[in-house]
A and B are shown apart, each in its own frame.
Chain A
């Protein structure tokens, strides 16, 4: 059963703590993406990776970090430097760097207490 999985579904964090969100895909896709969704603002791109061991900043990368050590995995770390981290985080993948069709995971809702 192919797809994208994100864990956990809900995550609570105290201020000042780093937290890592998991994203795994078994679609054999080269490209992976992280978005943040806030009410009324649509999806904003945080980081993306078009190939293993390579990634680029998106529009709102400050306070976030990523790694891409394996093709199927693209974890996102929300650091304490992110001033307003409470949001719905979505991971997506696409076949390759030339593909427009992105497939999304179910999302992780992060709440900072």
Chain B
């Protein structure tokens, strides 16, 4: 079993819909959580960074962490075709320790 599980998709939604992404993990020591966006044949770019449990909002993006359930989520409101990309979750157990990545979820936002 992988340490971080993420549905590969593709997840197809109409423009303007809410995109809901999630990752589950098995290592209870993880406490730093990140979401990266990766366009095709490009490097990942950091979208959201959260520490421990709770919610964080940045524009159209909301990240949620539920450590008791070992479950993190990313929501994208008012989705746009430019949001079509692969979304990777990543996490670590301490500042500066190596990141463990999920396999990524491919998202398609149709006009």
Chain A contact residues, CB within 8 Å of chain B: 4, 6, 31, 40-45, 48, 58-59, 88, 90, 92, 94, 96-107, 109
Contact = CB atoms under 8 A, between A and B. Distances in A.
Given A58-B98, A100-B95, A106 B42 contact: yes
B95 A107 contact: no
B96 A98 contact: yes
A41 B103 CA distance: 5
Given A40-B103, A41-B103, A58-B98, A100 B34 contact: yes
Nearest to A105: B43
B92 A100 contact: yes
- The B interface, classified by DSSP as helix, strand, loop or mixed, is loop
B106 to A, nearest CB: 10
Interface stretch (B44-52, B56-64, B77-85): B44-52
Interface string B96-111: 1011011110000000
A38 to B, nearest CB: 9
Contacts of B98: 45, 48, 58-59
Interface residues of B, number: 24
Interface of B: 4, 6, 8, 32, 34, 36, 41-46, 49, 88, 90, 92, 95-96, 98-99, 101-104
Given A96-B96, A107-B42, 18 more contacts: A31-B96, A40-B103, A42-B4, A42-B6, A42-B104, A43-B44, A45-B99, A90-B43, A98-B95, A100-B96, A100-B99, A101-B34, A104-B43, A104-B44, A104-B45, A105-B43, A106-B42, A106-B43
Given A42-B4, A105-B43, A100 B101 contact: no
A99 B49 CA distance: 12
Contacts of B88: 42-43
A42 B102 contact: yes
A107 B41 CA distance: 7
A98 B39 CA distance: 27
A108 B4 CA distance: 25
Contact of A101 (B42, B49, B102, B103): B49
9 contacts: A40-B8, A40-B103, A43-B90, A44-B101, A45-B98, A90-B44, A92-B43, A97-B96, A104-B44
